[in-house]
Structure formats: structure tokens, C-alpha cells
Amino acid sequence: MDIILLVIYIFSLSVLFLFASHYLFIIFFYFKTKDKFSLENNQVSLNNEEYPFVTVQLPIYNEKYVVERILDSVINFEYPKDRFEIQVLDDSTDETKLIVEGLVRHYKSIGYNIKHIRRKERVGFKAGALKNGLAMANGEYIAIFDADFKPNKSFLKTTLPYFADEKIGMVQTRWEHLNRNESWITKAQAIALDAHFTLEQLVRNRAGFFMNFNGTAGIWRKECIIDAGNWQFDTLTEDFDLSYRAQIKGWKFRYLNDYVSPAELPSNINALKIQQFRWGKGAVETCIKLMPTILKSDFGLLIKLESIFHLTSYLVFPFMLLVALLNIPILLIKINANFEYVFNYLSVFLIASISTTIFYGLSQKILHEDWKEKMMEFPYFLLSSMGLAVNNTKAVFEAIIGKRTEFIRTPKQGNQSKWKNDYLLKYNRKNSQIKNIIMNYMLHLELVLFLYFVLALIFSIRYQLFMDLFFQLMLLASYGLIWLYSIKPNFKIWKTN
């Protein structure tokens, strides 16, 4: 039995090592392709006499806290008023629809081409709303923003010139964080997203690998969307799915790392769980749907290899959880002095943590002059990543077995303090999806794991396995924090009541 457990443990560590080594692959290509596009970026400009007509799509679902902010931002685009239209794709079932009606009425009265589009049924969720709006869109280009964004005025003038290349189907901008410093939760997300955009997206685009539209803060050529098969809703990541289908068809994308679109990060752990679950499950669904086509295609080996890592990135979480669950059995094997020679070689897996630190450190150095201070927040990222393993593992396995679930939006509260209590009540008591996340067995499993790692810590101290203490403390802290911050909103609601 010891041999079986050890083999599973080493295999799991090997998978994690492989994904961590991929970070070195990305870093290598970052420096190899560092100068690509730099001259071209400086030469791109928009011909002021030929403004193309643009449709700006705003998919909305119960966004009363942020809908006014996104509409105000889009209305103020520095672009001729008669050369763009705004579609508010509103599937709301709460008072958001009344707020939107008032805003649309006001902006129409002062000359803006803005439409309030509502559907009888929320078929296909966000993808269905985008597809429905596209059928009515007059624009040659389709800009898309989620409700929690605050795009800059120059967005259209900055992105549209890249479509001078007729092969370009989509232009994506980098996300910037409106509320990075709000809590350890937002700081952890900022570290993760900075690395995704500044290294992964940038390198994939420069090196000619497949990259993805991030669902918002980007602009599409309408012809590209239609040619790639339009928006489809058989996965939870319609953006990931369409991106790959478009590039398989031969369309090229451009990513602008030097141009940002500010957005709000989920400010509590339950909202983050919803977002991560959707991203993780959707990524695996997209992998199952499209990987056979990619592997059979004529694309080069490196492109296929990078696509495998890209589409399967959330598989790290089941193996991360498996390594954690094997903690005490492996400790017992060590205590019994079995296979001591094997454990002497397992230190090689420390390279994985080194490459991970270098990867995220480099992204912060690229973006921030005070990157050393920003990297002091790196432990927040590690804690959240380990603690979310249960949530994300569930997402992965649901995708693998083909279980269908609805698209659950990520709750946003905006930056207005007047909404705080209302937000807590609405999304932690009345919203059934979040209530289920708080009260279901997943929360109890996180608590059990926390207690499990307390026991593992006691074992390590009792048998003087001091080399394992740091790992035990990290696991204990990660699951403890995730569990504590998952139930924290309930206490606030009880206090409010």
C-alpha cells in the first residue's frame, strides 16, 4: 500500500512540476520575442476621415451597483457620436432594468445611439445575449465590456487601427485593477491576473501561439465572429471557445499590453469562487470540445503543445488537492523510515516553487516600479490558489463528466459605500447561487481539510519532521482562510438583521 501511495504522490508532484516548468517556457519566449511588434505599435494610427461604424455591446445581468459607471464610461468615448451604437444587452430580473431604462432614455435624449435590448428568456446566458445582439448590430466592429469595467475614453481610437491588417479578427487590452488594494483577496487576484496578461497573453501573441479573448475589454471584427461559428453556449467560457475557433479558422489576434482597461476585482471569496468555478469548468469544456481538432490540424508542434498547456491549466487543482490529501499518509511513510532513499530525491520538485516565484515576480517587475513591494503580496496568491483547490477541482470533474450548469455571473458591488449593506443582503442572503456555495458540502470539506492539516502539523512536530512544517503551515493557512472568509458574510448579515 505504501508503494501505491508513494507512486500516486510522485505522479501528482510530477504533474505540478510539469505545469510549473511551463512558466520557464513562457519566460524564455518572453525574452526571445521581446522586440516583436514594438516598431509596429509606434506606427499605428487612425485615419480621422475614415471612422468605421462600431457596435459597443454591454451584457448586463442584475448589475444595479455598476451599470451606471459602465454606461457613463462608454458614452464618453472619444469617438464621433454618429459612428458608434451602444447595445445594453439586459437580461436583468431585478431593479437594474429600471435603472437601465432611465439611463437609456436620458442618453437617447441627448443624441446617443443607444438601445436597451431585453430577451424573454435568458437562453445561452451571456453568449446568448451577445449572439442576439450581434444579429441586430450595425457595426463592422464589436467592442464588448462587462459591467464591472471602466474603459478609458480612447479605447476605440486606440484599438481600431490594428484592424488595418485584414487578418486581424480581435484586439484585446490588458485589465487594470480599480480595487487592487481593497483586501488580501483582491491583491491575490491582481498578482494572478498581472502574470496572465503581462506574460501569458503577451508571449502567446508575440510567439504566434493561440491566445484568448478575455470576455471583455476587447474588440472583434464582426466578420470574424460569424466566420468562426458565432457565439456558442455549450461551454461556460464562450470567449475562450470562440477565440480558439477563430484562430483555427486562420484569424489573427493582437494583444495590447501597454493599453489598459480598468476593472473591478471580486471583493469577497464567494464571488471569487463563482468566477473561478466558471473559468475552470469552461476551460476544460473548451479543451474537450476543441482539442481533437487542434491535434489533427496542420499547426506546428509548439503551437499544439502550448495549446495543451493553455486549455488544461486548471488540471493543476485536482493534483494540488491530491498532494494535500496525501499529506498524512506520506508523513506516516516517512515516520516508519520506509523508502527514505526516495524522499532524498523529492527535493528536485522544489524547482517548481522557484520557477513559479520567478514567473510571478517577473510580471510584477514588468508592470511596477515598486515590484519588490508588490511581491510581498505573493503569499496571498499562494494561499488563495491552494485554498481554492476544492472549488476548482469540482469544476474540473463536472466538466469531465459532462455535467451541465448554468452561467452564474460574478457579483460586483462597485465602489460606492452606500451600496455596502444592500450588497451583503442581496448577494449573500437572497441570491440562491451564493447561498448554496456558502452552505453546501464544499464549505464543510474545506473545514475538514483545515482540521486535517492541523493534525498533519502536530504529526510533523511530534516526529521532528521539521522540513515539512512550512508546507503544513501553508496548507493549514490556505484552507483556514478560505473557509473563514466564505462564512464571514453570514455573520455580517446576522449582525445587519
* Amino acid (1-letter code) at residue 49: E
Number of helical (H) and strand (E) elements in the chain, helices listed first: 23, 7
* Nearest CA-CA partner of 176 in 211, 213, 150, 153: 150
Active site residue 91: yes
Q: How far apart are CA 253 and CA 263, in angstroms?
A: 22
Q: Say if CB 380 and CB 180 are below 8 A apart.
A: no
* Amino acid (1-letter code) at residue 219: I
Residue 178, number of CB atoms within 10 A of its CB: 17
* Nearest CA-CA partner of 77 in 46, 37, 98: 46
Cell of 235: 461551454
Q: Is 458 exposed, middle or buried (0-12, 13-18, 19+ CB in 10 A)?
A: exposed
DSSP state of 314: G
Residue ranges with strand state E in 168-313? 168-177, 218-221, 252-263
Q: What is the H or E stretch that residue 217 is in?
A: none
SS3 at position 273? helix
* Amino acid (1-letter code) at residue 361: G
Q: Is 98 exposed, middle or buried (0-12, 13-18, 19+ CB in 10 A)?
A: exposed
Of the residues 91, 146, 148, 194, only one is catalytic, namely 91
* Nearest CA-CA partner of 160 in 200, 89, 219: 219
Buried b (16+ CB within 10 A) or exposed e, 296-312: eeebeeebbebbebbbe
Q: How far apart are CA 263 and CA 432, in angstroms?
A: 25
Of the residues 146, 148, 239, 468, only one is catalytic, namely 239
Active site residues: 91, 239
